[in-house]
Amino acid sequence: LAIKQQALGRSKVALKLLKHAAQLDPNNAVILTALGEALEKDWDDVKENNLNSRQSRVSALSVKKSSALKSSVPEENLVAAESLYARALIENPQYQKATKNQRRTRPVVEQFDQQRLKNIDQKVARFYLVPESNPGLRLVKIEHYFQHIYHSNAIEGNTLSLAQTRAVLETRIAVGGKSLQEQNEVLGLDAAFRFLNTTLLKGSSAPIEVNDLLELHRRVLSFVDLTEAGRFRKTQVFVADHTPPAAELIPQLMDELMTWVNSEEAAELHPIEQAALAHWKLVYIHPFYDGNGRTARLLMNLILMRVGFPPAIIRKEDRHLYYETLKTANIGDVRPFIRFISKF
């Protein structure tokens, strides 16, 4: 039905039908590919319409202007299309249509990804033009700190508001109507972030060790669960539709993770790529009973801050997309998660 609608020129209707079909059967390579093609066509249509509508303004500088117009076309649909082709090939590696479509779109999407990272580099460079003596900068950093602790806990289900989180941090006095455990989660993450700032960033040229992660985790849970704080889990756990590695494999896997984090291979990546991959690898291993997400976000920000990037805040409002892109990484395509992190 969707294909018929598309043949009749009803692209929006076809796209809506294909999205619904993908929700009903999310592992069907044929449906995923068809949805990708519909999104790609929508991107092409928007690009063509933009070019045609401004064609009268393109004269002697036509090549330069048309190139600029092309780059201004929203990229989300093409990126989503290429990701769907990749997902289809995970489900069916022999599906030729998906292979052909990905071969066509991937170079363009890679250009988008690289340009996004270059834009971030430029923003960071402009940020460092602001002198440290600027009073507004200090206020921004303080607010950013409160925001980080609030959102990192809220993603895990903590119900304290930003104002309540700030009150706990500033006064160390319990907030009425909220559980002590939730307030202790705030104090634990504060202790971990202070350790990161005062200890781990001081030796920024030294390798990040497994013990550093254990110390971060120990502080994350220090006010909540001293029995498990700073210790790897000893039994198998299950996280939604992801089954993490067996407990006996964790020490070796964590050694391998930190070897990679400190490797030349990782250093050749853009800092956001390295930080996002380290975050995903840690939550994939899921080395602790609790506190994996908070510790992974601390590791991610440690990697970013060691090379001069500000810490990334993953907001509570983006929780669903955060977990969806992690899920996509678990089945074989980590690029959507890297793109997600690059927005923060």
What is the set of active-site residues?
286
240 labelled ligand-binding = yes
**Percentages (nearest 5) of helix, strand, coil residues in the chain:** 70, 0, 30
99 labelled ligand-binding = no
Report DSSP letters for 274-301, one per residue: HHHHHHHHHHHH--SSS-HHHHHHHHHH
Dist. CA 194–CA 205, nearest whole Å: 19
Dist. CA 156–CA 153, nearest whole Å: 5
294 labelled ligand-binding = yes
14 labelled ligand-binding = no
Dist. CA 224–CA 99, nearest whole Å: 49
| Secondary structure element (H or E) that encloses residue 189, with its range | helix 180-195
259 labelled ligand-binding = no
Q: Which two tokens stand for residue 192?
A: 């971990």
121 labelled ligand-binding = no
292 labelled ligand-binding = yes
Are the C-beta atoms of residues 37 and 81 closer than 8 Å to each other?
Answer: yes
Q: Which two tokens stand for residue 274?
A: 């390295």
Amino acid, res. 176: G
Using DSSP, state whether 246 is helix, strand or coil. Answer: coil
Dist. CA 20–CA 60, nearest whole Å: 46
Cα 238 versus chain centre, distance: 22
20 labelled ligand-binding = no
323 labelled ligand-binding = yes
Torsion sign (Cα): 52, 57, 63, 69: negative
332 labelled ligand-binding = no
63 labelled ligand-binding = no
239 labelled ligand-binding = yes
279 labelled ligand-binding = no
- The Cα-based distances of 258 to 1, 234, 273, 303, 338 in angstroms read 50, 20, 15, 12, 19
Q: Give helix 335-342 / helix 271-285 axis angle, nearest 10°.
A: 120
- Binding site listing for ATP: 239-242, 290-297, 322-323, 330
- Binding site listing: 239-242, 290-297, 322-323, 330
